[in-house]
A and B are shown apart, each in its own frame.
Chain A
Amino acid sequence: MEEQHHPPAWAEQFVEWYCKPELVEDLTGDLNEFFERNLKTIGPRRAKLIYVIDAIKFFRPYTVRKPEFANLFINWIMIGSYFKTSGRGLMRNKLFSSINIAGLAISMSVGLLLISFLLDLRSYDRFNKNGERIYRITNDATIKGEQNGKFGTTSIKTGRLIDEKVTGVEEVAIMREGFSQDAQVGDHFLPLKGFWAESPVFKIFTFPMLEGNPETALREPYSVVLTETAAKKLFGDGAAVGKAVKFDSIDYQVTGIMKDIPFFSHIHFEALVSLSTAEQLNKADQDFQKWTNMWSNYVYVLLPQNVEISSIESQLRSIANEENKTDANTKIQLELLPLYNIVVGENLNRSMGSAGPHLPPVVLWILGGLALVVILSACFNYTNLSIARGTRRFKEVGLRKAIGAGNSQIKWQFLTEAFIISFAALFLSFFLFLFLRPQLINLAPELQRLVKLDLTPAMVIAFLVFSVAVGVIAGFMPAVFFSKTSAITALRNVSSVKVFKHITLRRALAVVQYTFTLIFITTTAIGYAQYKNILAFDLGFNTENVLNIDMQGNKPDAFLRELSEIPEVTATSRSMIVTSVGNAWGGNVKYKDSQDSALVLTNQVDENYLSLHGYKLLAGGNFVTHPATPDGVHEMIVNQQFLKRFNIGAGDPEKAIGEEISFSNFTVSRQKMKIVGVMQDFHYGKVDNVVGPVAFVPWTQADRAIINAKIQSKDVPATLAKIQSVWKKLDRTHPFQAEFYDKAIEDAYSEYSAMIKIIGFLSVIAISIASMGLFGMVVFTTETRLKEIGIRKVMGATSGNLIYLLSRGFLLLLSISALIALPVTYLFFEKYILTSFPYHTPVQIIETIAGLLVVLMIAFLMIGSQTMKAAGSNPVEVLRGE
């Protein structure tokens, strides 16, 4: 068995490479002897490790061979010559060079964007000095036997228990989210967002304090630590520490000022309030400290160096098992999530609020895959054209070999050419990158928060490495191909050379290229059509010209009175949430069967809401009562699904009127409600949700308010300005927040529009690259076949014949690609993507074929123009030289 282990070959080669020839045998022999000895005593793995270490340690002045200057000198001269001849070659074939450079530049700009994107994601949270030792607790919750998935949040109790019981944890910090109030200093208001936290936060994360003591700043209740910017906004340039800030009529003391949170942090806040404050405020809430109250607290731990993660994990398991005994319905498991895996990592529920930056790795793989396809496509072009052009360069290669060039020198010659092209392309693509960067970032607000794509030294290095890699990928095949041919075959009659063996390969590459191009463009077309369908989707009510104004905690009545003075506002209503854009609110409903309860999505609306939005009532009428508090609410308007779910009225909406159900939610419990109206089903959720039971209940003054204003105006911006000035009179603290319903719907699907734009952009790039490649091939074939064409013409072939002859091959390739790409894309959408949209319209033939038509048209244009030129050439001119 021992015989099978060998020292690592690369380490041996390394020694042989650097070591003086007279020492090398003895030295490697020694290493081998030690290796064999170690193999017996400490096993193969460590023996190999020691071998490698020793091999590196032997790299000393006396062992290292002196560089052979003569060789280096020759190489240097040759490199100069490579550059010179490559440059000449590129200049001579301007068309091919520009096709290659342009194609590579376009595709590389995509690569550059991706690289900068990845580097930005990778730099998240790296500002933390102890980043590698920071972990966040993940809750894996099973509630009532139902797997609820993993949560980034956990309970306060978890944090406390870890602090008390788990050994081998350096620091534990609890951060409770949801602190969002208006800070008041004198007459000055400023909305602040932040966390309730304790002092370990400052030990775990690298959040430097500018003023105040990090140890004590978050100890006392009602103390607050502000970021530099927040402090400046509140107190101007004056001192802030020790001053009082009023939140919701309670005075808080500023106990510290900290530096602003770096952009690349997954945690963002403007203020930290001591956790003891939250404990004081929630004294009455018995659930506050409960193990199952796991919805809004984050627990971070700092582990010491060299700690065994498994030991911490097993301690966490035993804590969880102990605590799970206290609640019969909820089973929670605790897990550790490394800090660096938060932003790019598993999808978690409530991972750092809904706004926290997060990307599942799958998205990165997909984006990376798409970018790779585009880049490879451009590399294919290069490979393809270089080899095709090879027939003309065989003489050059033969001559070089004949006067003594080695294989490696030919290889270098061709690689240098590829490098020159790829560096030129890098140069161009960098400008493209600068141009595309803002477009990408502004695609979606999420992207603005996620990345900056600023140039960093690491990025520049990555770009250079990338362009070298592209050069190698593009130039490798031609280099190997040309270096392999022997001088004799190369110098012999060119036509007999085996270039044409590679024709199948080139065709296969072209088919692959066009298949991907077609997939891209068809995906864009179908995706765009579906997206438009979603936006134009009939939700079951009317959203046109409805402006939703968020009251942000203000009572709406005064504002409503002011609004009614504006003539362009034709109608107003109040509701609690805006539906159909992803918001949801709800409660449990029971009908006669007390065992059968179901979640019903609700919206609290006033009596004008239905008519303003044009909901269709099937039976019954509007709300009659105007209750002041949720306790007084006893009416309900339900949809058809509601009746179906509880089997009320046996299919007849009229019979359902007057039926009584019992309703519980956050504010009321087992409230008796009467069904006063039945409305047609509408889409409460987004279009990808199935329509379920929905109910409207009367809006009360205690509810959050959104004003829905129907606007009829020729000059919308002026009307908006009017409304805004009304708002400013009533609320000077909060900026006016209003959005047209249609715009809100558009925003709700912004991820799709961003996705379509990205794929659309990629498909434009893919088409241009593939077209350029095709163009190059067409030019090449027609040029080489010019004489054949001449002879055919002499023999009496018509132009039509010749065009058919020349374009036949390309059209065949294109149709193979189409036959692969179109069904694949169609099935991909029908079987995979659209299954998550229950109300989608089926994919139309026209969308599927549109892409193909565009590609075909471009291809025809190129093939046509070249073949026409060739077919139109005068045979006398062409054949004269023979």
Chain B
Amino acid sequence: MKGTNLGEFEELVLLTVAALLEEAYSVAVCDELSEHTGRSVKLGVVHAVLNRLEEKGFVKSELGEATKTRGGKRKRFYQLTSAGRSALVQAKAMRDQLWDKIPSLTWNKA
């Protein structure tokens, strides 16, 4: 397995998957991301990233029920794994540490 560190976009996708709970499938992730980042996110990119995250073991996936929409094709729902959860926590912790290092004083001056 290749490196387990998270890229910026990967982190965003992973967060979205976590936030969407049971409804996390590619199109929903894509929509959610577009809404929150304010830029149009391409489905192909999301798809590729989800695939990569699964390869890294941060998410797992299974096919849902068939519906009338989507031409009768089933959705693939993603779920955070514990490795994914810890990767997110780790990333957040790292950021928090760095934030704490910035003295509020210098921040205000600038």
Give B52-110 interface residues, CB cut-off 8 Å to A. 52, 63, 69-71, 73-76
- Interface residue stretch chosen among B1-9, B11-19, B42-50: B42-50
Cβ 8 A contact of A26, one of B48, B63, B69, B71: B63
Q: How far is the CB of A47 from chain B (nearest CB, A)?
A: 13
Residue B27, interface by CB 8 Å: yes
Q: Are B44 and A58 in contact (CB under 8 A)?
A: yes
Residue A97, interface by CB 8 Å: no
Q: Are B74 and A30 in contact (CB under 8 A)?
A: no
- Interface residue stretch chosen among A31-39, A496-504, A564-572: A31-39
Q: Are A26 and B75 in contact (CB under 8 A)?
A: yes
Q: Are B27 and A34 in contact (CB under 8 A)?
A: yes
Q: Is the interface of A mostly helix, strand, loop or mixed?
A: helix
Given contacts A34-B27, A36-B69, A60-B48, contact A29 B74 (CB under 8 A): yes
Q: How far is the CB of B26 from chain A (nearest CB, A)?
A: 5
Q: Are A33 and B47 in contact (CB under 8 A)?
A: no
A781 neighbours in B (Cβ, 8 Å)? none
C-alpha spacing A60/B48, complex, angstroms: 9
Residue B40, interface by CB 8 Å: no
Q: Which residue of B lies closest to A34 (CB)?
A: B43
Q: Are A32 and B70 in contact (CB under 8 A)?
A: yes
A58 neighbours in B (Cβ, 8 Å)? 44, 47
Residue B34, interface by CB 8 Å: no
Given contacts A32-B71, A62-B51, contact A26 B44 (CB under 8 A): no
Q: Which of A7, A29, A30 has the most CB of B within 10 A?
A: A29
Q: Which of B52, B69, B70 has the most CB of A within 10 A?
A: B70
Q: Are A30 and B26 in contact (CB under 8 A)?
A: yes
C-alpha spacing A26/B47, complex, angstroms: 10
Q: Residues 2-37 of chain A: 1 if any B CB is under 8 Å from the residue's CB, otherwise 0?
A: 000001000000000000000101111110111010
Given contacts A33-B27, A33-B69, contact A27 B47 (CB under 8 A): yes
Give A354-386 interface residues, CB cut-off 8 Å to B. none
C-alpha spacing A28/B74, complex, angstroms: 9
Residue A94, interface by CB 8 Å: no
C-alpha spacing A198/B25, complex, angstroms: 66
Q: Are B51 and A25 in contact (CB under 8 A)?
A: no
A714 neighbours in B (Cβ, 8 Å)? none
B63 neighbours in A (Cβ, 8 Å)? 25-26
Q: Are B48 and A29 in contact (CB under 8 A)?
A: no
Give A524-567 interface residues, CB cut-off 8 Å to B. none
Q: Are A30 and B69 in contact (CB under 8 A)?
A: no
Q: Are B44 and A29 in contact (CB under 8 A)?
A: no
Q: Are B73 and A25 in contact (CB under 8 A)?
A: yes
Q: Which residue of B lies closest to A35 (CB)?
A: B71
Given contacts A60-B48, A62-B51, contact A29 B43 (CB under 8 A): no
C-alpha spacing A30/B51, complex, angstroms: 14
C-alpha spacing A708/B75, complex, angstroms: 93
- Chain B residues engaging chain A, CB cutoff 8 angstroms: 25-27, 43-44, 47-48, 51-52, 63, 69-71, 73-76
| 6 pairs of A and B residues whose beta carbons are closest in the complex | A29-B73, A26-B76, A32-B71, A29-B70, A32-B70, A33-B70
A-B contacts, 14 listed (Cβ < 8 Å): A26-B63, A29-B70, A29-B73, A29-B74, A29-B76, A30-B27, A32-B69, A33-B27, A33-B70, A34-B43, A36-B69, A54-B44, A58-B47, A62-B52
